[in-house]
Chain A
């Protein structure tokens, strides 16, 4: 690539970046460096935002009627949703941590299958039985996984804990007596930063003996 071509490439990249940040134009004196824009234009986003629908979601055995935009994720509904009666859904156990299906902090069950709620559109959750961490216990009776997490101190800050609890329940529903390697496989979609993994593995083993 010649120097001239390089420079042209640079300027195209720069424009796409500036457009990304706002509606600005490039100032006259610029230092040649390569920039890569990664933000979408405002127009595309606002168009999308205008499309809404009222849907029904079955969450922890209760039906919620709720108005959502097509872009609204299931996680947004669980945490921030307000139903058509004006009540907050307020199921904040599932956490948004990475916002792109990398960490498992928002794991919920959709028809007993573990799903990242940040990666599922609310509209796609229609017709499914959604179970969040708040729906894992039977009233005041904790699930064996929850009992075992407490017993083994399988948590520190606890922010990832709801996701791990739900993934562990899903794992044991599929595999009653997982080996350590199978536990690691089953929970490989969840991330903890405090480093509670060893005690989580112990907890799942204990829970598997009780189920």
Chain B
């Protein structure tokens, strides 16, 4: 059975290794799609609807076509079509400069007849609301799930809590907006630089769309400026760039504006849930009844978890989607989990309080995960759980502190579908190639670590190529925290195979059988006689004119899904201003085998900070009067900045020697931990995110009254 070996035997795996792309990233040399400059390249822009719902009455591109410097103008909709959200595409322009493209958009003649719209869930569900898609009352068919005997459960309950929880729509805010550079060679070959999480997915989509054999499309993503689940396909903008390039015979760059990024490039759906839950006097969660909905804009996919993490025998859940005239949702870091976790962790605390129990103890009684049980102990110790207010809000002074806890779970076990090659050249150089992409998680470095560990080299000795479809070694999209667990087994087995081949070449030199050879650090030696040794270069010198190039294979035993996490938060609430400051987060995250501890800590920090943003700051605000998003920029849509950052204790909680993904899970428990800490500080519960000063002050005022 293949294995990663004992931790004590690992020289590199599990250690803190700096990333291979570090130097390029700190010197500005790293080239992102947005940085690609091709000779004769044109700049493209898209004209978008500024209304929520309208029919296209007239569309005339001629005035734009006549502007000097404009090379192509195309329709992205047609007269008679219905535009169904602000930001939907109307037409596109390619011009010699970005400024000319901008000017040309303003010359396009368009007439729209506005139609009744709904942009908020409340408006969509109101009696007599205009139906904006093929759903009665703008509601999808509900998803109903029943387990056990709910009625009996409530009868057994000693306490019952009923509450309504809400999280608003959050947008991804990728710093590199969605976009691409397309360059055709004749009509037969398309090179496509894409800001994507799925190099091969984009290649296959383009091949289908433009009716080309897949090997006549090359997709390149050397570096990528953030995706968080929103960058799996070429999208309208990608198809548009390719069309404009084909028409003009020139390379075309089309990057979304910041505004369009908020409007059309995906978002995390909202969640509203009414929940009634009961627990027995000895602290068992016994009944859970929830009805909820969310909006994913004009599309569906607004699901969320619940009941979450904790076991409950008797439950009934009913969930549906609400259609609104807003851009479609896309997967966003642990889709459905953070919002479900916020509601569940708030509910658990409310039940515990009614029972007169410590909320941590109440969790322990209802959590079947052994991993999380251990994490509770460790996390409580790190945060100083004993410091919490036993009576919430009982602290004195203007600024009140409180502690809270939240939990999460995720899969992240990877899957088949990756091909990779490890090549050893006679000059001692080593190359590792696979068609995955490094979206900032550091998989490029993880690959180098695995190969270097296997061959007795340093990670910097390994030349890693990812983010290019040309070598024809496919890998899946980077979603579901699947990248490293999907890629690692294939890379490891490829490196093992290459090492075996090298041993075969070196055995005659060392006059020893192949199975008696081992790698040292930069050496190959004979296990039974350690005086017999050659340097790495002497060994590879045996290859003469040849190179060794070996593929790898998927191996179930090298990876495992199912990770648990828990977080503890300490907050300080200013009861005069309503400001919530997070003092400290302890994040205990199950990671399976962490290939690179440093990059894993980065991922945990990042998850916590994104969760913090969702809890305290982030909200897409739609104006029901105009149908427009009011904060489609980075000033009014607030993401965490330096002042919001607490002390974060990221604890890489190794549970086994198999690789699991960790990109998503650390953003889940943060919401409940902070929300519960706020309650512990001020004794008033905020059930609607984000927890902004106005909500805190209103809640405090209501408590007084």
Residues of A near any B CB (own CB < 8 A): 17-18, 20-27, 29-31, 33-37, 39-42, 45-46, 49, 69, 71-72, 76, 79-80, 88, 90-100, 102-103, 105, 132-134, 136-137, 142, 145-146, 149-151, 153, 155-162, 165, 183-185, 187-188, 190-199, 201
CB distance from B576 to the nearest CB of A (A): 21
The tally of residues in B whose CB lies under 8 Å from a CB in A reads 85
* Docked complex Cα distance between A21 and B605 (Å): 42
Verify B176–A157 contact, CB threshold 8 A: yes
Residues of A within 8 A of B110 (CB): 21-22, 24
- Say yes or no: A39-B106 contact (C-beta < 8 A), given A159-B175, A159-B225, A191-B641: yes
Contact A195 B625 (CB under 8 A): no
- Which single member of A132, A156, A162 contacts B442 (CB below 8 Å)? A156
CB atoms of B27 and A155 under 8 A apart: no
Are B176 and A99 closer than 8 Å at their CB atoms? no
Q: Per-residue 0/1 for B595-608: is the Cβ within 8 Å of any A Cβ (1 yes, 0 no)?
A: 00011011101111
| B28–A92 CB distance below 8 A | yes
CB distance from B396 to the nearest CB of A (A): 25
Q: Does the CB pair B58–A153 fall under 8 Å?
A: no
Which residues of B in the span 604-645 have a Cβ within 8 Å of any Cβ on A? 605-610, 625-628, 633-635, 639-643, 645
Pairwise interchain contact A94-B28, C-beta atoms closer than 8 A: yes
Q: Can you add 9 more A-B contacts, CB < 8 Å, to A30-B113, A190-B641?
A: A18-B111, A69-B99, A93-B29, A97-B177, A133-B26, A142-B26, A158-B21, A158-B30, A159-B32
Given A156-B440, A195-B610, A196-B605, are A21 and B50 neighbors across the interface (CB < 8 Å)? yes
A146 touches which of B26, B30, B98, B226 (Cβ 8 Å):
B26
Q: Contacts of B417 on A, CB cut-off 8 Å?
A: none
Residue of B173, B226, B639 with most chain A CB atoms under a 10 A cut-off: B226
Give the residue name and chain of the A residue nearest to B257 (CB).
A99
Chain B residues whose C-beta falls within 8 Å of the C-beta of A25 in the assembled complex: 111
* B441 beta carbon closer than 8 Å to chain A: yes
Distance between Cα atoms of A132 and B35 in the complex (Å): 15
Q: Which of B22-70 contact A (CB under 8 A)?
A: 22-32, 34-35, 37, 43, 47, 50-51, 57-58, 63, 67
Q: Which of B34, B102, B103, B602 contacts A199 (CB 8 A)?
A: B602
* Chain B residues, Cβ within 8 Å of A17: 50-51
Bound Cα distance from A197 to B643, whole angstroms: 10
B583 close to A (CB within 8 Å): no
- Do the beta carbons of A150 and B63 come within 8 Å of each other? no
> Least Cβ distance of B438 to chain A in Å?
9
> Is B108 close to A, CB under 8 A?
yes
B27 adjacent to A194 (CB under 8 Å): no
Known contacts A25-B111, A153-B602, A193-B639, A134 near B28 by CB under 8 Å: yes
- Check A22 against B439 for contact (C-beta < 8 Å): no
Q: Which residues of A contact B645 (CB under 8 A)?
A: 184, 197-198, 201
Does any Cβ of A come within 8 Å of B19's Cβ? yes
**A193 in contact with B226 (CB, 8 Å):** yes
Given contacts A95-B176, A188-B641, are A42 and B98 in contact (CB under 8 A)?
no
Are B626 and A34 closer than 8 Å at their CB atoms? yes
A37 to B19, CA, bound (A): 47
B61 and chain A: residue at smallest CB distance: A22
* In the bound complex, CA of A162 to CA of B609 (Å): 20
User: Does A92 contact B31, Cβ atoms closer than 8 Å?
Assistant: yes
Choose one: A27, A132, A153, A197; the contact of B57 (CB below 8 Å): A27
Known contacts A35-B626, A71-B99: does B22 contact A150 (CB below 8 Å)? yes
Contact A22 B108, beta carbon cutoff 8 Å: yes
Q: Which residue of A lies closest to B442 (CB)?
A: A156
- Checking B19, B26, B609 against A165 with a beta-carbon cut-off of 8 angstroms, the contacting residue is B26
Decide if B354 is an interface residue (CB 8 Å cutoff). Answer: no
| CB neighbours of B602 from chain A (8 A) | 153, 156, 194, 196, 199
Taking a contact as CB atoms under 8 Å apart, the answer to whether A134 and B21 are in contact is no
Which residues of B lie under 8 Å from residue A134 when comparing CB positions?
27-29
Alpha-carbon distance A187/B643, docked complex (angstroms): 9
The CA-CA distance from A155 to B173 in the complex, in Å, is 17
**Contact at B26–A155, with CB atoms within 8 Å?**
yes
B115 within 8 A of A: yes
CB–CB B57/A20 < 8 A: no
Tell me which of A39, A76, A93, A190 contacts B98 (CB under 8 A).
Answer: A76
Given the complex of chains A and B, what is the CA–CA distance between A191 and B51 in angstroms?
Answer: 30
Contact of A137 among B27, B100, B116, B633 (CB under 8 A): B27
Give Cα A41–Cα B107 distance, bound, in whole angstroms. Answer: 9
Given A102-B633, A134-B29, A153–B107 Cβ distance below 8 Å? no
Closest-CB distance, B218 to chain A (whole angstroms): 21
Q: Which residues of B contact A199 (CB under 8 A)?
A: 601-602, 605
Can you list 22 A-B contacts (CB < 8 A)? A24-B57, A39-B50, A42-B107, A76-B98, A76-B99, A79-B35, A92-B37, A97-B634, A98-B635, A133-B28, A153-B599, A153-B602, A155-B19, A157-B225, A157-B226, A158-B225, A159-B223, A185-B642, A193-B174, A193-B226, A194-B440, A197-B642
